[in-house]
Amino acid sequence: MQHDYDLLIAGGGLAGNCLALALKQTGLRIAIVEASTREQQQDSPAGDRALALAAGTVKMLETLGIWQGISRAATAIKDIHISDQGHFGKVRLSAQKENVEALGHVITARDIEAHVAKLVTESDIKLLCPARVVGLMAGSDAVNVNLKRGDEPLSVSAKLLVGADGGNSSVRKLLEIAQHTTEYGQTALVTTVKSSLPHKNVAFERFTASGPLALLPVADNHCAVVWTRSSEDADALCPATRRTFWPNFNTVSVTGWANLV
């Protein structure tokens, strides 16, 4: 049976685009269906979030030829300080002691997402964008996928469909794959601060009764903050008018910090 593609990936976020780039040398006919335009993806406030990439992830991105284009935008983590509120012990990890150049790197999601999307555009990977997966029928040797491009319906077939369409995955829903959600009653407040002292490439993680607090070193002596609070505390600390809520992440981006603490 003829198929339009060997592999159809629903979702052109980090997971979908990196998978396509990892497989691009295989000779497989690959297509990505992405619902948002490049501009919408670039303008999303969720792009401001800082991602901490472990040294192993950086190695993998290097192997895929991705890291070389973004390394300059990333900040190295040289030391990590982990503590538990109310407890005496601390863990300190050091790149120097581990004999590695860095324990990890911090980069904004926008920087890495934009670069990965550019590499996909420059490759042979077919990009169906903006288009949304709205239906699918899986057979024994192919999957037929219904797409919507604006109001225009489109049908494509592939040997394999990968659902990389995020936390609210349409592919999961269409295949009726059960989802179990555990409500932690926590909200992460995410913002960036500048300290008067240099961060010296140290990342801090502190476990507290209301959840972890992380400080990640980023460029220009700024630190990205991820502050997990109970959902009631987060509401009180940061009124709805001063925040952007990222529905798929249960995360709030705060547009100003000084009045918050």
Ligand X SMILES: Cc1cc2nc3c(=O)[nH]c(=O)nc-3n(C[C@H](O)[C@H](O)[C@H](O)COP(=O)(O)OP(=O)(O)OC[C@H]3O[C@@H](n4cnc5c(N)ncnc54)[C@H](O)[C@@H]3O)c2cc1C
Interface residue list for ligand X (CB under 6 A): 10-16, 33-36, 41, 49, 51-52, 109, 132-133, 164-166, 170, 188, 190, 226, 248-249, 251
Q: Among residues 35 and 158, whose Cβ is nearest to ligand X?
A: 35
Q: Among residues 141 and 146, whose Cβ is nearest to ligand X?
A: 146
Eight-state DSSP code of residue 12: -
Residues forming a β-bridge with 213: 206, 227
CB contact at 8 A, 131 and 33: yes
CB contact at 8 A, 49 and 253: yes
**Closest residue to ligand X, Cβ-based?**
13
Residues 144-177 as b or e (16 or more Cβ within 10 Å = b): bbebeeeeeeeebbbbebbbbbbeebbbbebeee
Q: Among residues 12 and 211, whose Cβ is nearest to ligand X?
A: 12
Q: Among residues 27 and 56, whose Cβ is nearest to ligand X?
A: 56
Q: Give min distance, CB of 197 to ligand X, in A.
A: 23
Eight-state DSSP code of residue 239: -
Q: Give min distance, CB of 17 to ligand X, in A.
A: 7
Assigned token pair, 82: 């982990």
Q: Among residues 95 and 116, whose Cβ is nearest to ligand X?
A: 116
Closest CA to 5 of 122, 144, 154, 166: 144
Q: Give min distance, CB of 249 to ligand X, in A.
A: 4
Helices first, then strands: H and E counts in the chain: 7, 17
Q: Give min distance, CB of 88 to ligand X, in A.
A: 27
Q: Give min distance, CB of 248 to ligand X, in A.
A: 6
Q: Give min distance, CB of 261 to ligand X, in A.
A: 18
Q: Among residues 1 and 208, whose Cβ is nearest to ligand X?
A: 208
Query: How far apart (Å, rounded) are the C-alpha atoms in residues 8 and 31?
Result: 5
Q: Give min distance, CB of 221 to ligand X, in A.
A: 20
Closest CA to 226 of 255, 247, 252: 252
Inter-axis angle of helices 14-23 and 109-122, nearest 10: 40
